[in-house]
Structure 1
Amino acid sequence: MRIPFLAAALAATALPASAADRPVLTVYTYESFVAEWGPGPIVEAAFEETCGCDLNFVAAGDGAALLARLRLEGERTRADLVLGLDTNLTAAAAETGLFAPHDHDPDRLDLPVAWNDPLFLPYDWSYFAFVYDKTRLPEPPASFEALIAAPEDLKIVIQDPRSSTPGLGLLLWVRAAYGERAPEIWEGLAPHILTVTKGWTESYGLFIDGEADMALSYTTSPAYHLIAEDDDTKAAARFDEGHYLQIEVAGLLASSDQPELARQFLDFMLTEPFQAAIPTTNWMYPAVTPEAGLPAGFETLIQPDTALLFPADEAARVRDEALAEWRDALSR
């Protein structure tokens, strides 16, 4: 296989000097962000028009997998930025000592909560929810307790909290809503769980294929079906306990050899070209509302009566205990 390798090497040396000299900004993110239907391609093209650089997205699983990879690589990481952690992981990420301050004014953000984290900068947000098909489940459960009381053949798919930010969000949702009753809730939910997948893509695919009645996703997920597919049969079940908030963030690696370019990307992340792409590619609420507002269809989404969210340090403190409760219930 040396001939193809040599040909590729010669081709690389033949590149124009301007292309060969372009700095590379490496951003670790999750798989759905860089998918052809995700925001990655739009963001890459728009940023490269202004930066005179090559933006290199590296998919590294879901948010929890991103943090695990950074812990493994430490200061040797190739990443200049990580995009895809959330508030359930930021305290643990900060403890690694790998991140530098973002130096941005939080007042420009449009979030349902105040933001004051000096290391991590939000780019989108939504609420966790169970999505269902109205034609298959016309009367969905309206609480975790109602889901537990439903016939056992009502099946849900969820994600593994050790590798998936929605999976971890579900653990904290149950804990925030029920406190010390969380083990009891998990024991009741266990018979309804069809399977636990590594990430969101696999579980949502099972739901779309009709393998499960409900999938752990977001209150904003039905907007995709409505806007992209002209399908109004998908909805998020409104739970009486409230819904847990997810805020996704980006962070600058202190070891980056392109710190100025990385800060330029963080600036760009809060501008119109990036933020306007979020609603109809990542199917979340943007951290800064575009000038034109949200796309038609977003007004149909449910709005939780109660927003649940642990502060980042408390989320880190209860994570291991909540994970043990989940694991014990599902292993019985």
Structure 2
Amino acid sequence: MDTVRIYVSAILAALLLLSLFACSKPENKQYPLRNTTTSNTIRLAATAEFRSSGLEATIIQDFEKEFKCKVILKLYEDHAALTDSIFTDADSIDVALGIPSVFSASLEEIEHFSPYIPRAVDDLNRDCVEENQYRMIPYGFSYMGLLYNSALLNEAPKSFGELQDDRYLNQMALVDPSRSGTGRAMLHWSIALFGKDGYQQMLRALRKNVFRNYASVAEALTAVNSGECTMMPGLITLSAWQNEQKHEDSKLDFKVFSEGSYLYSECLAIMSKAQNPELASAFVDFMLRESSQKMVIYKLGLFPANRKTLLPPSFSRVPLSPWLLNSDLEYSLIKENTKEWLEAWAQIFSIY
């Protein structure tokens, strides 16, 4: 009897254990990525250049196809408008693309960005990774120098000193630093070189040689190519980019000034309130793939941030590591004085 009782107890215990496992075992369930929205969409903010350059057409379609998702794109007129959207439209953006590094110090919204270390982190050009938290991730970069029309200007200035020469009267195009990343880089470059006490004197010395202060790089570049102006401070890779587009028809050349250059990069960032952070992270990684990085070269005229990306032949004559002045301009100084610097620029070049 005791033996039967033991067997019965063992069978009952086994059945109990089986029933417990059956209740606790989950069904064949696919756990979704952490996502606060039910739709497989990503909301992207960018400047109008993202579309006009053709980068949208080459990036968005492939991303949507691979990740079986929908990109909702909102475009802003320029870098300043995109930057403002970080404050005004933060709840409706997952990823912001096209943020110039030179705007970062005036962007108190860094706290609105989520840190993300991209898969290609080890392949990124170290010069354009400005902060180790990876809240703003570079996808393209270039260096400041002088762009000029070689058909109209036989001997281009080689320094800021020569740029002030009277022989270049009314020949230079500038870009508005309040709206454009390139314009802001020009302002930072001059302050890094001449100091916050000397840059205004240098800009006033340049004023006689300025034909116009343009709203965008595209407008200034058109002026130089058409002969309305002969030169402009700008990103030296644009010369190689235009050569790729127009080949022998391009007359755009560049000079790296003897005093040094200034690094410019464009970044993307995941918003801290992103409704689809995993898809946003995937988009960051997608932008840093070699296939996407090639499009950054051909559509934007920037060096790719991913060092593994092969450069076209015309880019081989553009120096990859000029002497940079960025470290001479501290982040805190930029943050504290940007408003004053922009007002000084506007006052000096107000008649243009």
Interval containing the TM-score (normalised by the shorter chain): 0.7 to 0.9
Instruction: Output one character per residue of 1:123-158: Cα deviation in whole Å (capped at 9) or x when no partner.
Output: 011012221111100101111221111325342111
Q: Where does the alignment leave 5 or more consecutive residues of structure 2 unmatched?
A: 1-37
Question: Aligned in 2, Cα 1:96/1:299: closer, same or farther, shift over 3 Å?
Answer: closer
Report if aligned partners of 2:113, 2:270 keep a CA contact under 8 Å in 1.
yes
2:345 is aligned, of 321, 326, 330, to 326
Q: Paired residue for 1:67, among 83, 99, 102?
A: 83
Instruction: Give the letter aligned to residue 294 of structure 2.
Output: A
Matches within 5 A, 1:11-22: none
Q: 1:28 to 1:137 in 2, by over 3 A?
A: same
Distance 1:276 1:331 in 2: 39
Paired residue for 2:278? 260
Say which one has the larger Rg. 2
State whether structure 2 residue 98 is matched by structure 1 residue 79. no
Report SS of the residue matched to 1:279. helix
More divergent stretch after superposition (223-232 vs 234-243)? 223-232
**Partners of 1:172 and 1:263 in 2: CA distance:** 31
Given that residues 272 and 290 in structure 1 are in contact (C-alpha distance below 8 angstroms), is that contact kept between their aligned partners in structure 2? yes
Q: Secondary structure at the match of 2:253?
A: strand
1:96 deviates by: 6.0
Show the counterpart of 1:278.
296
1:119 is paired with a residue of what secondary structure? coil
- 3-state SS of paired residue (1:256): coil
- Pick one of 172, 182, 191 that aligns with 2:188: 172
2:336 paired with 1:317: yes
Q: Is this contact kept in 2: 1:158–1:215, CA < 8 A?
A: yes
Aligned to 2:236: 219
Call closer, same or farther: CA 1:81–1:305 in 2, change over 3 Å: closer
Q: State the match for 1:287 in structure 2.
A: 305
CA distance in 2, matches of 1:216, 1:57: 31
Report the equivalent of 1:210.
227
Within 5 Å, give how 1:124-203 maps onto structure 2. 124-151=140-167, 153-179=169-195, 180-203=197-220
C-alpha distance in 2 between matches for 1:127 and 1:154? 24
Structure 1 residues 28-61: Cα deviation after superposition (integer angstroms, max 9, x where no partner) = 11222222x4322111122122111122332212
Contact 2:241–2:298, Cα closer than 8 Å, also in 1:
yes
> In 1, Cα distance between the equivalents of 2:184 and 2:335?
11
Over the aligned positions, Cα root-mean-square deviation in angstroms equals 2.2
What residue in structure 2 maps to residue 251 of structure 1? 269
Per the TM alignment, residue 250 of structure 1 is displaced from its structure 2 partner at its CA by 0.5
**1:324 Cα shift?**
3.1
Q: Percent identity?
A: 23
* SS at 1:151 equivalent: helix
What residue identity is the alignment partner of 1:215? M
Shift in Å at residue 107 of structure 1? Answer: 2.9
Distance 1:152 1:138, change over 3 A: closer
Q: Provide the aligned length of Structure 1 versus Structure 2.
A: 308
> Secondary structure, in 3 states, of the residue corresponding to 2:57?
helix
Match of 2:62 among 46, 54, 60: 46
Query: Matches of 1:129 and 1:65 in 2, distance apart?
Result: 25
Partners of 2:194 and 2:79 in 1: CA distance? 25
Q: Is the CA contact 1:88–1:316 (under 8 Å) kept in the aligned structure 2?
A: no
Q: Is the CA contact (8 Å cut-off) linking 1:172 and 1:319 kept in structure 2? A: no
CA distance in 2, matches of 1:50, 1:228: 29
1:269 paired residue among 284, 287, 297:
287
Rounded to whole Å, the distance in 2 between the matches of 1:147 and 1:138 is 14
Per the TM alignment, residue 121 of structure 1 is displaced from its structure 2 partner at its CA by 0.8
Give 1:108's aligned amino acid.
D
Separation (CA, whole Å) in 2 of partners of 1:271 and 1:113: 17
Q: Which moved more, 1:57-66 or 1:245-254?
A: 57-66
For normalisation by structure 2, the TM-score amounts to: 0.80
* Equivalent residue number for residue 31 of structure 2: none
- Give the alignment partner of residue 33 of structure 1, picking from 43, 47, 50: 50
The structure in which a higher percent of residues are helix is: 2
TM-score normalised according to structure 1 size: 0.85
1:98 equivalent in structure 2: 112
